[in-house]
Structure 1
Amino acid sequence: MKIDKKVANQALIQIDETIDSLVKQIELLSYVNPVNIEEEKARFFSSKYLTDPVFNYPTINFDKFKLHRALFAQPLELIKDVEIKNLYEDIVYEYSGLIQCIETIGDGKKFYYNSLRCFGTPTEKDVENAKFILHFEDEAKDDLIFKPKYSAKQAEVFFKDFSKQYDFTYTIEQSDKISAIAMVLNNIKTLVLNSNHTYSDNEIAVLTNHEIGVHMVTTMNGLMHPLKIFSHGFPNNEETQEGLAVFSEYMSNNLTIKRLKELAYRVIAVDSLAKGYSFSKTFRLLHNQYDLDREEAFYLTLRAHRGGGFTKDYLYLTGLKKIYDYYQEGKDLSVLLTGKVTLEYANEIESLIKKGLAVSAKHITDAFAENKNTNKKVDFILRSLK
């Protein structure tokens, strides 16, 4: 796309392109997922939940020091527009933090403190919201929509069919090395399905809207801008992106009490890190006190404790509440679909569009066209969260 030289000087474009080339190497989720999950799960279960797993992680394939140095060497003072300069300062600090996260994966407290710096930790209010959700009875477990039915290979068919409504293509892969049951890798436009998981009808409905309807939509929209920050991500974009993704589940009438409780348990698990809980203690909290079956308790604990203490998981619930309130105020969700952006930068996004440095979202989440939610209990919960 042609850049209007009156709007953006060459320094900004050069800085943006350099940062993009640097941060393409940083996909935190590619490094923080252990490569020996199943072996350590078996060992943990055989120890009667007493011996903490010892996880191994992928090898880091970049020079951490050089990457830090190159980021901070960017001549941001050459950016004439103060608003844009401030945004890029935030971005440099954000990505420096993510590099520190990656370089300390598996190093206990070091990783945890770097994770805290990047993602924060649940507040008292967040924990109260989680406990409020857990008071509700979830749907009957024998409901057919929750019954595991489809292998990862069979699930692929549903994702491909769902994606026909969007004008883009992406790759689908399978892996037994991820803690989630599905995830989008932004930098390689790939949906990864967990080959160890058997998917239910509800999970297919949730994941198609969540992973394709939002995460892949924002991946593809992010590639369309003159500035590449929309693709590699604004500061603290995880909360907004996950909030939008869960909100698409709500709008498509697939957000259940069971799913909300899963997000609440994630907050409880991450809060346990702040309390100094070990892997086994968090697991026993979820398994014994909250009566989760051991498989679910293990994977929730894994998500929170991977790397040495990964706090990101609590942001799904806080993000959902922020997006729900944003929608109820009648604000334009399409601004938040322009890429890997952050709600708190909505004004800056609109400003960049006006300056010719960004474009409006081409791909719009199908679920956002009409609110199809019929679950009054879910509505009550979302309205009541503090």
Structure 2
Amino acid sequence: MMNDSTVATKALLEIDNYLDNLIKKIELLSYVNPINIESEKEKFFASKYLTDPEFIYPEMDFDKFNLHREFFSQPLELIEDERLRNLYEDITYAYSGLIQCIETIGEGRKFYYNSLRSFGTPTEQDVENAKFILHFSDDEDAENEEPKYDCKSAEQIFREYGKNYDFSFDIKHSSTMGAIAMVLNNIKTLVINSNHTFSEAEMNILTNHEIGVHMVTTMNGLLHPLKIFSHGFPNYEETQEGLAVFSEYMSGNLTIKRLKELAYRVIAVDSLAKGYPFSKTFRLLHNNYDLNREEAFYITVRAHRGGGFTKDYLYLSGLKKVYNYHKEGKDLSVLLTGKVCLDYSEDIKYLLEKGYAVKPKHYTQSFYENSNTNKRVEFILNNLK
């Protein structure tokens, strides 16, 4: 176990704790979601899909220059263990990049380039995988797709599902978000979109996705001596979202329709990366891919918010990576230790060995047994490149 009396360990814990206090101030999703989505949607539809929306974003409530300075003022040289020192250098650069994302929200290509640095952009292979999925018909998925739960009823279903786990969390409603539900890690809260009416299929997906993974990793992340597990390793988003969609698959709730939604997100981010404006990305989804205009609008918002938020392509690539990892017989519990990244799995094992981390207390229910019976979904996952 770790020896708290050593100077190096004391330095590591102090730096980790200091960074944690800084990182709590920068929940990117709190800033990148426009506050006028619904009114801009009406205008956009009225313009016959020609006039790009003008989104307004929440005010930033931190001093960005000071925050940058504080990040880089940490005496990382006091961490004697080279492996851990390198990890904390990676963390410092990754979060400094996120601050640059937040401070340029709404500034068009400036934000896009910062987003690109933090999240990357789809490769040609990612786009090919998306197009492969879009060849499949989702007609068989019509079951359970009728909208029937308002946000209060949805809240009850989330609370009931939450009883499967030994933790409690808050639920809030919001009318100003791009997603239909999301977990805010720093306040252990599930936020539900109050403008949305949820179908049975959506609730099955969201319970396994949001609570079964995002809330599980939030709660596990808080149990370690090091706070990095709670606020997130560099590039953790791809693994997190991959795990969350993998939970949909393992629980038997991943449909072709849902896979196509993830594929459309890749197409939208690729369109953004090619320099297309909002209206052109929307028309690509709506006209070329026959996506209904409501869904096409929200997927376009997700990709273009802030000035170009590329994160959305990671759901599909993350799913493929986690699916392969599991197929190879590797230990999923390593990825449930917190907001971690598959690329750092050996570092996580090292931290566990050294006593800087603990094994996860909470384990995603759907991971105990594969309940998928959809052969087409299995075929797709096996054939993604």
- Which amino acid counterpart does residue 319 of structure 1 have in structure 2? G
- Which amino acid counterpart does residue 269 of structure 1 have in structure 2? A
What secondary structure is seen at the aligned counterpart in 2 of 1:58? coil
- Which amino acid counterpart does residue 276 of structure 1 have in structure 2? G
Corresponding residue for residue 58 of structure 2: 58
- Which amino acid counterpart does residue 106 of structure 2 have in structure 1? G
- Which amino acid counterpart does residue 338 of structure 2 have in structure 1? G
Q: CA contact under 8 A between 2:2 and 2:355: conserved in structure 1? A: no
- Which amino acid counterpart does residue 202 of structure 2 have in structure 1? E
What secondary structure is seen at the aligned counterpart in 2 of 1:174? strand
- Which amino acid counterpart does residue 79 of structure 1 have in structure 2? I
What secondary structure is seen at the aligned counterpart in 1 of 2:90? helix
What secondary structure is seen at the aligned counterpart in 1 of 2:74? coil
Corresponding residue for residue 265 of structure 1: 264
Q: How many residues align?
A: 385
Give a deviation string over 1:259-286, Cα, whole Å, max 9, x none.
0000000000000011110000000000
The answer as to 2:37 corresponding to 1:37 is yes
What secondary structure is seen at the aligned counterpart in 1 of 2:80? coil
The answer as to 2:14 corresponding to 1:14 is yes
Corresponding residue for residue 94 of structure 1: 94
Give a deviation string over 1:155-197, Cα, whole Å, max 9, x none.
0111011110101000000001100000000000000000000
Alignment of 1:242-257 (within 5 A): 242-257=241-256
Corresponding residue for residue 70 of structure 2: 70
Corresponding residue for residue 189 of structure 1: 188
Q: CA contact under 8 A between 1:241 and 1:341: conserved in structure 2? A: yes
Deviation at 1:10, TM superposition (A): 1.0
Give a deviation string over 1:126-161, Cα, whole Å, max 9, x none.
0000000000111346x3401100001110111011
Corresponding residue for residue 380 of structure 1: 379
Corresponding residue for residue 318 of structure 2: 319
In structure 2, relative to structure 1, the CA distance for the partners of 1:352 and 1:2 (3 Å cut) is: closer
Alignment of 1:279-290 (within 5 A): 279-290=278-289
Corresponding residue for residue 178 of structure 1: 177
Deviation at 1:35, TM superposition (A): 0.4
Deviation at 1:8, TM superposition (A): 5.2
Report % sequence identity: 72
Alignment of 1:144-183 (within 5 A): 144-183=143-182
What secondary structure is seen at the aligned counterpart in 1 of 2:65? helix
What secondary structure is seen at the aligned counterpart in 1 of 2:190? strand
In the alignment, the residues of structure 2 paired with residue 201 and residue 257 of structure 1 have an alpha-carbon distance, to the nearest angstrom, of: 16
Give a deviation string over 1:73-123, Cα, whole Å, max 9, x none.
100011000000000000000000000000000000000000000000000
In the alignment, the residues of structure 2 paired with residue 62 and residue 204 of structure 1 have an alpha-carbon distance, to the nearest angstrom, of: 35
Structure 1 residue runs of 5 or longer lacking an equivalent are none
What secondary structure is seen at the aligned counterpart in 2 of 1:146? coil
In the alignment, the residues of structure 2 paired with residue 10 and residue 318 of structure 1 have an alpha-carbon distance, to the nearest angstrom, of: 38
In the alignment, the residues of structure 1 paired with residue 206 and residue 25 of structure 2 have an alpha-carbon distance, to the nearest angstrom, of: 26
Corresponding residue for residue 119 of structure 2: 119
Deviation at 1:5, TM superposition (A): 3.3
Deviation at 1:48, TM superposition (A): 0.7
What secondary structure is seen at the aligned counterpart in 2 of 1:145? coil
Structure 2 residue runs of 5 or longer lacking an equivalent are none
Deviation at 1:299, TM superposition (A): 0.1
- Which amino acid counterpart does residue 33 of structure 2 have in structure 1? N
What secondary structure is seen at the aligned counterpart in 2 of 1:172? strand
In the alignment, the residues of structure 2 paired with residue 7 and residue 367 of structure 1 have an alpha-carbon distance, to the nearest angstrom, of: 42
In structure 2, relative to structure 1, the CA distance for the partners of 1:3 and 1:246 (3 Å cut) is: farther
What secondary structure is seen at the aligned counterpart in 1 of 2:298? helix
Q: CA contact under 8 A between 1:155 and 1:199: conserved in structure 2? A: yes
For normalisation by structure 2, the TM-score amounts to 0.98
After the TM superposition, which parts of structure 1 deviate over 4 Å for at least 4 consecutive aligned residues? none
Deviation at 1:6, TM superposition (A): 5.0
Q: CA contact under 8 A between 2:2 and 2:356: conserved in structure 1? A: no
- Which amino acid counterpart does residue 347 of structure 1 have in structure 2? E
Q: CA contact under 8 A between 1:214 and 1:248: conserved in structure 2? A: yes
Give a deviation string over 1:18-63, Cα, whole Å, max 9, x none.
0000000010000000000101001101111111000000000000
- Which amino acid counterpart does residue 116 of structure 1 have in structure 2? L
Deviation at 1:4, TM superposition (A): 3.7
In the alignment, the residues of structure 2 paired with residue 223 and residue 140 of structure 1 have an alpha-carbon distance, to the nearest angstrom, of: 41
Deviation at 1:342, TM superposition (A): 0.3
In the alignment, the residues of structure 1 paired with residue 253 and residue 5 of structure 2 have an alpha-carbon distance, to the nearest angstrom, of: 46
In the alignment, the residues of structure 2 paired with residue 91 and residue 319 of structure 1 have an alpha-carbon distance, to the nearest angstrom, of: 20
Q: CA contact under 8 A between 2:144 and 2:200: conserved in structure 1? A: yes
Q: CA contact under 8 A between 1:8 and 1:357: conserved in structure 2? A: no
